[in-house]
Amino acid sequence: MRIVLLNNKGGVGKTMIAGGIAEDAARRGRRVLLVDMDPQANTTDRFGVRPEIASGRVDELHSLTRCLAPGVRNGDAGDYLYSCQWREEWAELIQVLPADLDLEDRAIEAGLPGAANRLRKALAGVDDDHDITIIDCAPSLKGHLTGMSLAALNGDADAVVVPLAAERYAITGALRSTAYVRATRDDFGVPHLDVAGLVVNSVRSGTNTHKVRYEQLVDQFAGLTGGPVRVLGDRIPLRARVAELQDLARPMLDDRDLGANPAGDPTGVVASIRTITDALLAREAVAA
């Protein structure tokens, strides 16, 4: 099963949630492939992958930039798999297809014949034995890197997941992202693709704005043309410790602070990430 994390609003937690689901699934013994389709390369860095060291060159890195170049063949991504560099035993279940800044160079090739299919081709046969492939996108909707990511969602259980905060512009971005997927899925050759659900992140309990916005977003997504979109799992609270652990490039689900459920929060960060992984793995089970 492949999922793409999509919202053209930046900073809503796409990369944090991609990493959280990857960590959770690996801790459960599942095999995970993380595909970093963002030239910011945050996911690559977070999991300790250093394509510049592997290539031995600074001018051409052994990353998706080279893998997705013109002429890519079926299964080419198999030559670009890196293991997560964390020391924990379960971390070896996580593999990463890394990004670097030059991935932008692929973005300008959108007009070339077949360009949208490059990631789909590169992945063909490569992630058959992975339980979940998680594609982390840049905050862009119409960009070619996002298009390639959507075109790679050609399996029965494959879907888009839209992270958002319960705030005006993140909700607008999520509505646009959903409408975009539905408007373009035929053109990307994935007519059955849809949004599996929203993941509501960075929730501040105790502020009325977030409560009101949450109620509004549930209404707005229920009223979408093309069918309603549900919320996946529990809402993820806003906690300073989340950002600290991203910054340290460390696992986060064994952190005592994030496991706790402080007064006022309906749930802890760890518990909510688990409910989201559960919802995704359940999709896979239904499709299998």
Ligand X SMILES: Nc1ncnc2c1ncn2[C@@H]1O[C@H](COP(=O)(O)OP(=O)(O)OP(=O)(O)O)[C@@H](O)[C@H]1O
Position 13 contacts ligand X (CB under 6 A): yes
Position 233 contacts ligand X (CB under 6 A): no
Using CB under 6 A, which residues numbered 27 to 66 contact ligand X?
38, 40, 42
Q: Give me the torsion for CA of 234, 235, 241, 246, rounded to 10°.
A: 90
User: Which of these ranges, 13-21, 80-88, 150-158, 250-258, lies near ligand X under the rule CB under 6 A?
Assistant: 13-21
Angle at 164 between CA 160 and CA 166, to 5 degrees: 145
Q: Which does 271 bind (CB under 5 to 8 A by kind): ligand X, Mg ion, none?
A: none
Interface residue with ligand X among 12, 91, 141, 151 (CB under 6 A) is: 12
CA distance 142 to 234: 29
Interface residue with ligand X among 213, 239, 274, 283 (CB under 6 A) is: 239
Nearer residue to Mg ion within complex by CB, 138 or 253: 138
* Minimum CB distance to Mg ion, residue 219 (Å): 27
Q: Which does 13 bind (CB under 5 to 8 A by kind): Mg ion, ligand X, none?
A: ligand X
Position 235 contacts ligand X (CB under 6 A): no
CA distance 195 to 204: 25
Structure tokens at 143: 């960009």
* Minimum CB distance to Mg ion, residue 39 (Å): 10
* Minimum CB distance to ligand X, residue 272 (Å): 9
Structure tokens at 166: 């319960």
CA distance 74 to 30: 24
CA distance 34 to 32: 6
What is the DSSP code (8-state) at residue 231? B
Q: Which has the closest alpha carbon to 95: 26, 24, 20? A: 26
Nearer residue to ligand X within complex by CB, 190 or 242: 242
Interface residue with Mg ion among 2, 14, 182, 185 (CB under 5 A) is: 14
Q: How does strand 94-97 pair with strand 2-5?
A: unpaired
Nearer residue to ligand X within complex by CB, 15 or 133: 15
Position 283 contacts Mg ion (CB under 5 A): no
CA distance 138 to 37: 7
Residues near Mg ion (CB under 5 A) are 14-15
